Amino acid sequence: MSVYVETATAAKECGACPSTSCNTAHLTRLGIKMDDWDYVVALAGNPNTGKSTLFNAWTGLRQHVGNWNGKTVTRAEGALRYNDRKFKLVDLPGTYSLLSMSVHEEVARDFVLFGRPDVTVVVVDANRLERGLHLVLQTLEITDRVVVCLNLIDEARRNNLKIDERALARDLGVPVVPTAVRHGEGLPELLRVVDEMAQGRYPTRPHRLNYRDAALEAAVAQLAGQLEGMFPGLPNARWVALRLLENDESIIRAVREGTLGDLQRPDAFPELMQLEAR
Amino acid sequence: MTLNQLGVGRKATVKKVYSESAERRRMLDLGILPGTVVETVMSSPLGDPVAYRIRSAVVALRREQAELIEVQENFTADEMESRG
Ligand SMILES: Nc1nc2c(ncn2[C@@H]2O[C@H](COP(=O)(O)OP(=O)(O)OP(=O)(O)O)[C@@H](O)[C@H]2O)c(=O)[nH]1
Ligand SMILES: [Mg+2]
């Protein structure tokens, strides 16, 4: 990957979009210049929803973008500064689920689960909302610091789709920001919300499914307690316990081999970093 | 009938998913559950895998996956009539 360091001015950033929607003067794209950071932001979402396009817009990097051949198979990292805060941005492979795994999906899941991002942006295709919401709800089981980026709103408009993003935000309990990332639309607002949430100034009330089963809850509580003993500091022990009860092979393996906690290490997937996009 | 028997361009409604454990989870995550409408989009040259449209995304399934999904083909009113 080539090193790209550039500072965006409002004019340069926004050549393609109407001036009213652009106010990115406070954004500085730092490329891979990343010695330290204040916050980590993960970009998750279904395949082909514009995650890498967003990553590039905010970091100035050139992650591959596009249909199929532009598929991201491993995570990429870049940085940006917004006002005086530095953000590390992590572009994840597309995934339909955090539960059933291809290797690429595992990269995304493990980062959201154990990488402890300060904010997870779930990028959703406004034209395939149902699919995106499945992943949003799964993500909300893991973290309450979620911003939904309702992308490809330009195409939705063309398809005569109207989405009531306020109702959606109310039901999900987290902010929903409509965007057309490729055209820069909605990006300043998205960044403002991400920044506020990273600082803990954006209260959320994540919608969570209630399993309503006393026996299940008791088993989960017991297992979660044991897991916390085995893996001190493990985030999301409850979620891991649910996966164990569900017979999730990759999680069972990680517990058995004692590698569950290792997933928190930033260099936990060296072999995956070697993977090339096909 | 099972999903692998659904012709290109035809639609059907999922009746039952027979896959188990991780494979079952996978199918549910792809949005394949009873009541879901699926459409066969195209078949690869060797007939396996086959691409299906499922909840507005195109998803490729291998034959052994599609064989475990019981469906009922959707016919239009006209088709019903001509079939008698
Ligand atoms: N019309 C429109 N197209 C967009 C928008 N954002 C992204 N795209 C296009 O959508 C395609 C996929 O974009 P990517 O950024 O590669 O998507 P991704 O989510 O990183 O995909 P994976 O890495 O496979 O998960 C590209 O052709 C983009 O140009 C948008 O707001 N509007
Ligand atoms: Mg990508």
Q: Tens digit of pLDDT for each residue in A217-272?
A: 999 999 999 999 988 888 788 888 988 988 888 788 888 887 776 554 444 443 33
Query: Mean per-residue pLDDT for A121-142?
Result: 93
Question: pLDDT by residue (tens digit) across B16-64?
Answer: 999 987 788 889 888 999 999 999 999 988 888 999 999 888 888 999 9
Ranges of each domain in chain A: 7-198, 214-277
CB < 8 Å to B30, chain A: 96
Q: Closest Cα of chain A to B14: distance in Å? A: 17
CB < 8 Å to B28, chain A: 100
B25 part of contact set with chain A, CB < 8 Å: yes
d(CA B49, CA B32): 16
Residue A25 confidence (pLDDT): 52
Contact: A128, B26; criterion CB under 8 Å:
no
C-alpha A123 chain-centroid distance: 7
- Kindly identify which residue of chain A lies nearest to residue B22, measuring between CA atoms: A100
Residue A269 has φ and ψ, to the nearest 5°, of: -125, 55
Residue A27 confidence (pLDDT): 86
Look at residue B7 and tell me whether its pLDDT is greater than 90. yes
A74 CB within 6 A, ligand 1: no
Look at residue A3 and tell me whether its pLDDT is greater than 60. no
A155 CB within 6 A, ligand 1: yes
What is the extent of the structural domain holding B15?
Answer: 3-83
Q: Closest Cα of chain A to B24: distance in Å? A: 9
Indicate the pTM of the whole model.
0.81
Q: Which residues of B32-69 are buried (b: 16+ CB within 10 A; e: fewer)?
A: beeebebbbeeeeeeeebbbbebbebebebeeebbebb
B30 part of contact set with chain A, CB < 8 Å: yes
ipTM reported for the complex, 2 dp:
0.74
Number of structural domains (chain B) is 1
Contact: B55, A97; criterion CB under 8 Å:
no
CATH number, domain A7-198, options 2.70.98.30, 3.40.50.12160, 3.20.20.60, 3.40.50.300: 3.40.50.300
B83 contacts B75 by C-beta, under 8 angstroms? yes
Question: pLDDT by residue (tens digit) across A148-162?
Answer: 999 999 999 999 999
What CATH number corresponds to the domain at position B33? 2.30.30.90
d(CA A134, CA B31): 9
